[in-house]
Amino acid sequence: MQMTVTVYAVGGGQMAEAILRAALKKEVIDPSSTTVTDIAEQRVEYLREKYGFDTQAELDKKKLTTADIILLGIRPQDNWKETIAQIGATQTKAQVISIIAGVTLAQLQKASESKLALTRIIPNTLTDTGYGYSGAALGGEADRELVTPFLESFGKVDFIPEEQIDIYTGYAVCGPNYVYNFYIALTNAGVLSGLSRKQANAVALENLKGAAEFLELTGKHAYELLDINNSAGGVGIAAQHAIDASDFAAGIQNAVLAAVKRTTELGKKDE
Ligand SMILES: NC(=O)c1ccc[n+]([C@@H]2O[C@H](COP(=O)([O-])OP(=O)(O)OC[C@H]3O[C@@H](n4cnc5c(N)ncnc54)[C@H](OP(=O)(O)O)[C@@H]3O)[C@@H](O)[C@H]2O)c1
Residue 267: predicted pLDDT: 80
Residue 256: predicted pLDDT: 98
Sign of the Cα torsion 13, 119, 135, 80 reads positive
Cα of 79 from ligand 1 centre, angstroms = 11
Which domains can be identified in the chain, with CATH numbers? Answer: 7-165 (3.40.50.720), 175-266 (1.10.3730.10)
DSSP 75-125: -TTS-HHHHHHHHHHTT--SEEEE--TT--HHHHHHHHTS--EEEEEE--S
Cα of 73 from ligand 1 centre, angstroms = 5
* Protein residues with CB under 6 Å of any ligand 1 atom: 10-16, 37-40, 43, 73-76, 78-79, 83, 99-101, 123, 125, 173
Encode the chain (271 residues) as per-residue pLDDT tens digits.
Answer: 568 999 999 999 999 999 999 999 999 999 999 999 999 999 999 999 999 999 998 999 999 999 999 999 999 999 999 999 999 999 999 999 999 999 999 999 999 999 999 999 999 999 999 999 999 999 999 999 999 999 999 999 999 999 999 999 999 999 999 999 999 999 999 999 999 999 999 999 999 999 999 999 999 999 999 999 999 999 999 999 999 999 999 999 999 999 999 999 988 765 6
Sign of the Cα torsion 243, 211, 235, 226 reads positive
Residue 139: predicted pLDDT: 97
Q: Beta strand 133-138 with 117-122: parallel, antiparallel or unpaired? A: antiparallel
Cα of 228 from ligand 1 centre, angstroms = 47
Residue nearest to atom 40 of ligand 1 (CA): 40
What's the rounded Cα separation, in Å, for the pair 216 and 4? Answer: 31
Longest dimension (CA), the chain: 72
Single-letter amino acid code for the residue at 109: Q
Cα of 72 from ligand 1 centre, angstroms = 9
Cβ neighbours of 263 (radius 10 Å): 22
- Single out the residue of 151, 118, 159, 112 nearest to residue 135, CA to CA: 159
Reading across the β-sheet that carries 7-10, which strands appear in turn?
Answer: 54-56, 34-37, 7-10, 69-72, 95-98, 117-122, 133-138, 156-159
